Structure formats: C-alpha cells, structure tokens
C-alpha cells in the first residue's frame, strides 16, 4: 500500500525513538552478546577502583601499551599509560597532529558506591565480633543489609609494606553480612521510620565472627580471636587498620538478566561500564590525527576530589609528561592544549523505570535499549551546578555518531526539580575543554545490583571509539 502524505512527512520530520532491538540484525546481536560476556568477565574481576586500574593495566600491557614513565620520547602512534597512585589511570594513543592542537578525551570513573571500614573498626558486643563502617558515595542504606558482601583492599604498614586482602569472591571463601530486624520486631519501631532512615549509617555494622579465643582470663575474646586470625594470615595488628583501605562490595557475580538475556545485572556498573567500553575503544584506536586519551578516574562518587580524583593536578602532571616527551613544552601551552581539546564525560544516567514512571519526564528520559544517552546538561533545579555542552559541540557529536551508525538517545536525570546530579564533566569544562556527558542508561543506579542493556553497552563502546578515532 502506498504511504499517505502524512506518513511520509512523519517519517521525514519526526525523531523516531524506537528500541534498538527492533532493527538489529542477527550478526550484530551476536556481537552485542559477545561484548557483554567480555564486559561481565571484566566486571567480576574489577570490583574496586584499584582493581579497575590493575586489571586495565594488565589488558593495556597485553595490547602493546607502555608505562609513560619508562618512555623517553613519544612519536605518532605510540601507546602509553600513566598510573596515579594505583587508583586512577590515564591512557593515550599519540596522534599525528601536535598535542597543542588538542586532545580527544573520554573520562570514566572506576569507583562505585560501597561500604568502607572505619579506621578503628573492630569491636565485640553481646558475643558478636563486629566492624564499624562508613559508606562511600550516595547509597540507599536499606539495600545493603542482608546481602553477601566481599572484602577488598589494602593495609599498609609503617615500613611501607602493603598487604592486599580479598575475601569473598572465591567459591570456598566466607562472605560478610550486615543484619536487619525481622518483620516480627520492626513493626514496633523501625517500620515507621522514613525509608531513608530505615537503616541508619551507624547501623551498617558488619558481622565478623563469634568464636572466642580459648583463654577465659582475657576480656574481648571474640575480638582477640579475629585479630589472631588476621595476624596469622596477614601479619597485621589492630593499629594497622589506621592505615588501611578496606572496602565491602556485593559478593555476587554479574549475570545476564531476563528470559531473553538482553540485560546485565551487576555491581558497580556506575561507572565500570564506561571504564570497560572506553578502555576497549582506546585499544582499537589506530594512528589517530588527534591524540586520544582514555581516563579511568577515582573519587567521582564523592565529588571528583582528592589526589586521585579528576580535580587533582595529578592529571596535569600526566599531560605535562606527554608534552615533554613529545617535545612541545612552551609557556602557556597547557591552556592552549585545553582550549583545542574535546571531552566526553563517560558516565551512566538514570534510565526510565516503568515501575516508577512518575519520577521521570517520559519524553526526555533515556531508555534501556535505545543506545548511548547524550546528556546535554547535568545539575539540578534550574540546571544549577551543571556542565552544559554548547549546542555546536552536541551537533558535532551527533554527526560523528550518525556517520558511525552509533545508536543514541538524549537524556535528562528525572523530572525538573525532582532529580539531578553531577559528573566529572565540570572538571573538564572548568579547564576550558568542550565537554559533554555520554553514557549508558542504568536502572537501580547505586544499588548493590544495577541493571543495564547489552545493546546500550555495545553502543557506548562504538560511540567512544568513533569519537577517539577522529
């Protein structure tokens, strides 16, 4: 049947917003699923920012990238990385053009919301050994109780010796646990607390053991027994917790979700999904004209701050080293580099959740299966504290995506005055770099088990690769 005038006009003028699963070919679908398997493998190995850095470094070394500190001189096509205190990593493929003519940067963050140990954590109460914690990032605390947790981290002794600890990931390992009241008791108090106070910060105590040390002459025998186990295994004493970074994360593995297996469930997808997709993208960048940079930063979840966060001048140290080794050091060059550079803040956004649809603007929220989401502005309540990409830059990005058949949709985090948030976009923009937020829609963001679409994950990889390869 012939199309009507209205149908033809609609096709030409409307922004056709359909799920990518509608028009996918069998071969591409296989690629999408294979990519998701590789991603889930990486996710299961990389639950903390330090593991993101060490595993990414290993992948880089296998793909002919060299430690920039060990390279004397750079030339076009060289592949290097620079690790900042084992917690963030900056990766570069040197372009044929001068650095002062600008860099192409994609920045993701390897840290995710979690439960950190306090510096004086261990105590014994009513015959249970417990650990005090201070959560990291924006969590809904009630989601983190009664779920198996694994322990990852480092204890550093005064002689500089670093003790790495990982308990709870192997099949034979024990896990850790935070308790909650049974409904039989909570109705008399806890049930009438506000949801945000259902579990309070000081109630996030980790159960660590119940067997007392076999000597009735001493007090705190359970605590003593736990310390003896730790001392036998790791050679540490209670005071060593002072200089430790011990993180509790969900112990379970990432899995395909749904009868059709189209989705991925996993801990820390904010923002490890962008770490993996941008890492894969830079591995495949070949002889770019502009130098391509991939950043896996730390401390995004608590405000981009600290010596390993994106606000840190440590990032400038990396750029200076690139300039030095490329023979381009000159007064005022850093500002020039930034002025000519372009960045993508590669971070997740809140995907539309049909169960909680009233929290979203259904016309502007990003949706699972629609590809990467382009977020022109972040911030909240009148775009406050936003990084907003200039329309000219958004148009350029759209052009790159169209040319490279990247599926994308636009996004906004929640209804006006109801939602909002920030990413490292501001840290690029403040340096004078054109910046835009582009990432993967996530459901149940910041929960112990977040949900993404395999289609979107694959398109994030395609998007970052198309951008970096320019």
CB closer to Mn ion, 340 vs 345: 345
Over the range 129-162, which residues count as b (16 or more CB within 10 Å of their CB) and which as e? bbbebeebbebebbbbbebebbbbbbbebeeeee
Closer to Mn ion by CB, 49 or 270: give it: 270
Q: With respect to Mn ion, which residue has the nearer C-beta, 323 or 366?
A: 366
Closest CA to 45 of 35, 34, 32, 58: 58
Window of 90-98, 99-107, 190-198, 268-276 that interacts with Mn ion by CB under 5 A: 268-276
- Cis amide prior to 271 (ω within 30 degrees): yes
User: What minimum distance in Å lies between the beta carbon of 444 and Mn ion?
Assistant: 12
User: In the beta sheet, which residues pair with residue 342?
Assistant: 104, 434
- Which residue(s) pair with 246 in the sheet? 153
Nearer to Mn ion, 271 or 298 (CB): 271
323 vs 374 by CB, closer to Mn ion: 374
Q: Does the footprint of Mn ion cover residue 49 (CB under 5 A)?
A: no
Return the residue of 51, 100, 347, 456 that touches Mn ion, per CB under 5 A.
347
Q: How far is the CB of 179 from Mn ion (least distance, A)?
A: 26
* Residue of minimal Cβ distance to Mn ion: 271
- Judged by CB under 5 A, which stretch of 40-48, 271-279, 290-298, 391-399 contacts Mn ion? 271-279
Least distance between Mn ion and beta carbon 297 (Å):
10
Give buried/exposed letters for 46-82 (b at 16+ CB in 10 A, else e): bbbbbbbbbbbbeebeeeebeebeeeeebeeebbbbb
In a 13 Å sphere around the CA of 363, the CA atoms on its Cβ side amount to 2
265 touches 451 (CB < 8 A):
yes
Smallest distance from Mn ion to CB 463, Å: 16
Least Cβ distance, residue 349 to Mn ion (angstroms): 9
Cα 37 to Cα 261: distance, rounded to the nearest angstrom:
11
**How many of the chain's residues bind Mn ion (CB under 5 A)?**
3
What is the distance in angstroms between the CA of the first residue and the CA of the last residue of the chain? 43
Provide, rounded to whole angstroms, the least separation between the CB of residue 137 and Mn ion.
Answer: 6
Residue selected from 51, 124, 271, 342 as contacting Mn ion according to rule CB under 5 A: 271
Pairing of strands 162-167, 255-257: unpaired
Beta strands (DSSP E) in 34-127 are: 66-67, 79-84, 88-93, 103-109, 114-125
Minimum CB–partner distance for residue 446 and Mn ion (Å): 6
Does the protein bind Mn ion through residue 240 (CB under 5 A)? Answer: no
For every residue of 424-463, DSSP letters joined together read: THHHHHTTT-EEEEEE-EEBSTTSSSEEEEHHHHHHHHHH
Interface residues for Mn ion in 175-204 (CB under 5 A)? Answer: none
Task: In whole angstroms, give the CA distance from residue 109 to residue 135.
Answer: 18
Contact range with Mn ion by CB under 5 A, out of 26-34, 64-72, 243-251, 264-272 = 264-272
Q: How far apart are CA 87 and CA 221, in angstroms?
A: 36
For Mn ion, the closer CB: 124 or 270: 270
Report the residue number, 242 or 430, with the smaller CB distance to Mn ion.
430
CB 357, min distance to Mn ion, A: 22
349 binds Mn ion (CB under 5 A): no
Residue 270 found at the interface with Mn ion (CB under 5 A): yes
Residues of this chain that bind Mn ion (CB under 5 A): 270-271, 347
């Amino acid at each position: 049947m012939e199309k009507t005038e209205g149908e033809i006009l609609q096709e030409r003028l409307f922004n056709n917003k359909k799920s990518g699963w509608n028009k996918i070919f069998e071969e591409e679908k296989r690629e999408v699923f294979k990519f998701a398997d590789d991603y889930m493998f990486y996710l299961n190995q990389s639950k903390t920012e330090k593991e993101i850095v060490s595993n990414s470094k290993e992948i880089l070394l296998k793909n002919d990238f060299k430690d920039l500190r060990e390279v004397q001189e750079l030339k076009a096509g060289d592949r290097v990385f620079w690790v900042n205190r084992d917690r963030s990593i900056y990766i570069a493929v040197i372009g044929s053009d001068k650095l002062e003519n600008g860099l192409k940067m994609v920045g993701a963050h390897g840290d995710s919301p979690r439960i950190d140990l306090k510096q004086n954590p261990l105590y014994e109460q009513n015959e249970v050994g417990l650990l005090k914690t201070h959560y990291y990032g924006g969590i809904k605390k009630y989601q983190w109780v009664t779920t198996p947790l694994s322990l990852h981290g480092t204890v550093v002794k005064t002689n500089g010796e670093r003790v790495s600890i990982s308990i709870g990931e192997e099949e034979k390992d024990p896990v850790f646990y935070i308790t909650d009241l049974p409904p039989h008791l909570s109705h008399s108090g806890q049930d009438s607390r506000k949801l945000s106070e259902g579990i309070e910060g000081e109630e996030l105590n980790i159960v660590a053991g119940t067997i007392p040390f076999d000597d009735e002459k001493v007090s705190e025998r359970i605590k003593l027994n736990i310390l003896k186990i730790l001392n036998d295994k790791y050679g540490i004493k209670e005071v060593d917790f002072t200089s430790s970074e011990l993180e509790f994360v969900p112990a379970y593995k990432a899995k395909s979700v749904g009868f059709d297996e189209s989705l991925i469930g996993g801990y820390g997808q904010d923002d490890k999904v962008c770490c993996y997709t941008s890492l894969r993208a830079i591995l495949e960048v070949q002889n770019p004209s502009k130098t391509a940079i991939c950043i896996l930063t730390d401390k995004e979840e608590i405000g981009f701050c600290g010596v390993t966060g994106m606000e840190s001048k440590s990032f400038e140290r990396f750029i200076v080293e690139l300039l030095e080794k490329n023979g381009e050091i000159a007064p005022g060059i850093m500002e020039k580099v930034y002025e000519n550079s372009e960045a993508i803040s590669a971070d997740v956004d809140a995907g539309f959740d049909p169960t909680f649809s009233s929290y979203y603007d259904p016309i502007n929220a990003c949706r699972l299966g629609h590809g990467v989401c382009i977020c022109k502005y972040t911030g909240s309540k009148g775009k406050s504290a936003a990084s907003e990409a200039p329309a000219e830059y958004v148009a350029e990005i759209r052009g790159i995506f169209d040319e490279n058949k990247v599926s994308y949709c636009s996004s906004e985090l929640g209804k006006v005055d109801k939602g909002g948030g920030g990413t490292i976009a501001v840290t690029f923009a403040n340096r004078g770099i054109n910046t835009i937020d582009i990432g993967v829609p996530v459901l149940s963001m910041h929960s112990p088990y977040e949900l993404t679409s395999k289609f979107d994950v694959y398109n994030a990889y395609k998007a970052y690769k198309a951008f970096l390869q320019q």
